[in-house]
Amino acid sequence: MGNIVLLIERLETATDLPLPAYQTAGAAGMDLVAANPKPIKLGIGKVALIPTGLKVEIPLGYEAQIRPRSGLALKYGIFIVNSPGTIDADYRGEIGVILGNFSDTEFIVKRGDRVAQMVVQAVVHAEIKVVPQLSATARGLGGFGSTGLERRV
C-alpha cells in the first residue's frame, strides 16, 4: 500500500509546536502533542479534553485513529477514554485527545507533552444484509473470554 497525503491546518495555538511525526521508520503512529496554553491538572479518576491545535483533512476512504501512548499508560496510568478515537474523513474540527487518569496520583499535562499517537487506516464500508440465521461456527455463542480459558481447579 502506498503513502497518502494528510493535509494539516495548524491553529494559532500550535504554531510553536511540532507537527505529528513518526518517531522511527517502523512506527505505525505519529505522535500528537498537547497544545494547552497552561498546564492541565488531571485528577485521580478524572477525564480531560486535551487540545492539539491541529485540524486534518483525511482522504476519503481513510480514517485517523487516536490511540494511547504505552509509556503514559504503563508509567502513569494515563489512558485515552474512547480508545481508539476515530477521526472521520469529513471531520474538520480540532483534534482533541480525551485523557483519563486511572492512577492513584494527580497527573499534569504540560504544553508540548506527547499525549497520543495518530494512526491512519483505510476504511471499508460494509453493506448490511438481514438474514434469517447466521452460519454455525465451532465457537458459536461463546464470548467475553470464552476462548483460551482453561478450567482451574
CATH number of the domain to which 83 belongs: 2.70.40.10
Q: Which residue has the cell 509546536?
A: 17
Residue 20 confidence (pLDDT) above 90? yes
**Is 139 a domain residue?**
no
Name the strand (E) or helix (H) holding 70.
helix 70-76
- Total domains, the chain: 1
pLDDT band at 150 (very low <50, low <70, confident <90, very high): low
**Is 1 a domain residue?**
no
- Cβ pair 131, 52 in contact under 8 A: no
**Is 40 a domain residue?**
yes
Q: Which residue has the cell 503514559?
A: 72
Q: Return d(Cα 31, Cα 20) in angstroms, integer.
A: 5
- Which pLDDT value is given to residue 1? 54
**Is 100 a domain residue?**
yes
User: Structural domain of residue 59, as residue ranges?
Assistant: 7-122
**Is 138 a domain residue?**
no
pLDDT over 70 percentage in the chain: 94
